[in-house]
Amino acid sequence: MLELIDIHTFYGPVEALRGVTFEVRQGEVVCLIGNNGAGKSTALMTISGIMRPAAGDIFFEGISIKGVSPHRILRMGISQVPEGRRIFPKLTVRENLEMGAYSGRGNAASLLEKVYTLFPVLKERHKQAGGTLSGGEQQMLAIGRALMSSPKLLLLDEPSLGLAPIVTSKIFRTIREINREGVTVLLVEQNARAALKLSERGYVLENGSVSLHGRGEDLLNNELVRKAYLGE
Ligand SMILES: Nc1ncnc2c1ncn2[C@@H]1O[C@H](COP(=O)(O)OP(=O)(O)OP(=O)(O)O)[C@@H](O)[C@H]1O
Ligand SMILES: [Mg+2]
């Protein structure tokens, strides 16, 4: 479904991605794990078109999306939940969700009902300003907003960041549910254990390139991964 081939992405002189190659197959949950600064967020932003790669190619459903605008990539069915949530704090929950529908994919009213079913708390609080929600609820809102474009591929950047373990579990359960309903998921996480448990396959990013990949289960048992990313 998605294929990155030897992608190089720079911030000015800083080469954040140094030849990244990986793929996500339709229906999978795939995770990218790696330390701070490894290039995880840059990889997601390069896929969603926010960052433009200097070299390499990216294919989505067989079509090159290298250099395509973020808006068109969204319309093609790739939606990103950015790191740090970035909801609109002054808009209501419902308005935040409606902002996500501007891509015009799918029917906004039925998508809104689907999001409310997935996250009943958002329905209860639909008139409340986004900024007054708890951290976990804001993450739900950010995911809900991304779902309002009816994506085929959902990119999630550290959905568990700063959340209590119980809230993290709820978010991870919901990601699984979203995937079961047919959305392919590419998940970036510092919480490597939870991410690998949820994922069919995982890639380890180190210094802007993939150092290791495999089935989620196998990476959980990999000695290097256990030492470097699972705190053992
Ligand atoms: N706006 C920027 N300007 C210059 N360099 C940047 C910028 N954003 C990121 N970088 C650099 O690019 C590299 C990759 O950063 P990136 O944010 O993709 O890492 P990450 O794996 O998402 O890290 P984290 O786990 O902290 O979110 C880092 O070395 C970082 O310092
Ligand atoms: Mg990041």
pLDDT tens figures, 141-150: 999 999 999 9
- Gap from CA of 80 to ligand 2 centroid (Å): 13
CB atoms within 10 A of CB 213: 17
Comparing C-alpha atoms, which of 170, 201, 207, 177 is closest to residue 187?
201
Task: Check residue 69 and give its pLDDT.
Answer: 96
Q: Which atom of ligand 1 is nearest to the CA of 42?
A: 18
pLDDT tens figures, 116-156: 999 999 999 999 999 999 999 999 999 999 999 999 999 99
Average pLDDT, the chain: 95
Ligand number nearest to the C-alpha of 32: 1
Written as one letter, the residue type at 107 is N
The residue whose C-alpha atom lies closest to atom 24 belonging to ligand 1 is 36
Task: Check residue 123 and give its pLDDT.
Answer: 97
Q: Identify the CATH homologous superfamily for domain 1-77+193-232.
A: P-loop containing nucleotide triphosphate hydrolases (3.40.50.300)
Beta strands in the chain (DSSP E): 2-11, 14-24, 29-33, 55-60, 63-64, 78-81, 153-157, 184-189, 201-206, 209-215
What percent helix, strand, coil does the chain show, rounded to 5?
Answer: 40, 30, 30
The greatest distance separating any two alpha carbons of the chain, rounded to the nearest whole angstrom, comes to 49
Report the C-alpha gap between 218 and 220 in whole angstroms.
Answer: 5
Is pTM beyond 0.85? Reply is yes
- Gap from CA of 139 to ligand 2 centroid (Å): 15
CB of 37 shorter than 6 A to ligand 1 = yes
Comparing C-alpha atoms, which of 73, 36, 40, 80 is closest to residue 58?
73
pLDDT tens figures, 162-220: 899 999 999 999 999 999 999 999 999 988 999 999 999 999 999 999 999 999 999 99
Report the C-alpha gap between 88 and 133 in whole angstroms.
Answer: 11
The single-letter DSSP state of residue 129 is B
Task: Check residue 102 and give its pLDDT.
Answer: 84
Of 16-20, 82-86, 176-180, minimum mean pLDDT range: 82-86
Q: Indicate the domain borders of the chain.
A: 1-77+193-232
Confidence band, pLDDT 50/70/90 cuts, at residue 86: confident
Percentage of residues in the chain having pLDDT higher than 70: 100
Residue 120 sits at φ, ψ, to 5 deg, of -55, -30
Q: Which atom of ligand 1 is nearest to the CA of 158?
A: 27
Report the C-alpha gap between 184 and 77 in whole angstroms.
Answer: 10
Identify whether the C-beta of residue 93 lies closer than 8 Å to the C-beta of residue 143: no
Question: What residues does 17 pair with on adjacent strands?
Answer: 9
Comparing C-alpha atoms, which of 170, 148, 147 is closest to residue 160?
170
